[in-house]
Amino acid sequence: MEMLFKCEDEHYEEDAQILALEYCKRTLEELKEKISSHEIPGENLEITPQLRSKLKPIESIYQDDRDKIFQYLSIHPQRTIDIIIVRISSVHEKKEKYLLEHIKQWKEIMEKNYYKSLDHRSFCFKQKEKKYLNPKSRIK
């Protein structure tokens, strides 16, 4: 049963990371488009907390250098956006490959544990069984 939960958690986590990468890439492409159409100045871009939250995957990709990346993004957005998009695309591809490789394993785990998961009282039963079989609970 725990394997089923672990499998679902891993699958959910991978899906969430892939969606976040796609959203970040789309945001950067929109930002690049606005800069090229001169809606936003091409230099000294203000990175608001809202924009930074949309670009959250950059923090996990660049980890230690994330502050430098955001600094470069604010100073030279056009050049930096191109570099970040390439990096996000490569990480996105790796995540999708990982997902495709593990879908078969997760499917096998789901199939093996499906019937066990139908027993909705299993956790309560195990806890009560431990309580009743404990020698201390018998002596009163």
| Residues 121-137 pLDDT 10s | 666 666 676 777 777 76
Contact 73, 45 (CB under 8 A): yes
> 3-state SS of the chain: helix, strand, coil percent to 5?
85, 0, 15
The number of angstroms, rounded, from the C-alpha of 131 to the middle of its chain's C-alpha atoms is 39
Q: What is the reported pTM?
A: 0.73
pLDDT tens, residue by residue, 68-116? 988 888 888 888 999 999 999 999 999 999 998 888 888 888 888 776 6
Any residues with CB less than 8 A from the CB of 42 and at least 6 apart, and which?
35, 77, 78
